Amino acid sequence: MSIAIVTGGASGIGRAIATSLVNRGDTVIVADLDAAGAEKVADRLGTLNKGRAIPAALDVTDADAVADLYKGVKAEHGRLDLVFNNAGISIGGAAEELTLEHWNRAIDINLKGVVHGVQTAYPIMLEQRSGHIVNTASLAGLVPMPLGLPYTTTKHAVVGLSLGLRAEAAGRGVKVSVVCPSFVDTPLLTNVNPGLPETSMSGDAKDDIKKAAPRLYTAEKLARDIMRGVGRNKALIVAPAHGRAAWRGVRLSPGGAVKVSAFAVNRIRGKS
């Protein structure tokens, strides 16, 4: 039985990860800014009669709050085996529409939220000489993704952070993986730029996204991929298959990948 923390656990990918962990008998702290949502998920997972789910209110932009939660879990349970730094926000819009508020919010949540988790979890795991940190990035962290530059910038940073930390952690008992999914059918697609100035992509962008990427993956299938990748200690967990194909295409022809992305932009803008 593992002791795990999942941030952004009240919905989408985080909820699916928490469900997979509880189903296999783990104790999971379901952490989310949406405290009521976290409690609802934990209550539902408690009916599975397998592992244990504990709700926790958490703002990942608050470094002290993250540290208090992670250290508190270690103190209560004696160890911290798995940390899924998964909380994130969707930012969309053309470059000329974006404001510094869009950029700062993306950096605060998508990047610094992961940094805050790593900053506390890594020393704990080094001390116990065991543990696995799993950071959620995106396929947008591996390929050019226009119409959402703050998002793709932060996700590229999470990939770099994770791979660099994995190299440092090698031989010290701590594992590090980064998850890079293609478009997943989660509330992020229907809640773009929450609380931020509106752009052409604000609100429900699912229909626009499906013009460029009609095949949306489910959070439940992705959670299975994630748990399989964690079990195999994979550095990069890229899913589904068409996402891995896109990643290979970028490595083979970066210029060609940019042209494909430009074509997708034109489809969204209705030019083709």
Q: Distance between terminal CA atoms of the chain?
A: 52
**Exactly one of 70, 122, 151, 217 is catalytic; which is it?**
151
Please report where in the chains the tokens 């190299």 appear, as a residue.
Answer: 167
- The C-alpha atoms of residue 161 and residue 31 are separated, in whole angstroms, by 22
- DSSP annotation string for the chain: --EEEEETTTSHHHHHHHHHHHHTT-EEEEEES-HHHHHHHHHHHHTTSSSEEEEEE--TT-HHHHHHHHHHHHHHHS---EEEE-------B-GGG--HHHHHHHIIIIIHHHHHHHHHHHHHHHHHT--EEEEE--GGGTS---SBHHHHHHHHHHHHHHHHHHHHHTTTT-EEEEEEES-B-SGGGGSBSTTS---TT-B--HHHHHHH---PBPHHHHHHHHHHHHHTT-SEEEESHHHHHHHHHHHH-HHHHHHHHHHHHHHHTT--
Cβ 58 vs Cβ 117: under 8 Å: no
- The C-alpha atoms of residue 108 and residue 116 are separated, in whole angstroms, by 10
Active site residue 151: yes
Active-site residue list = 151
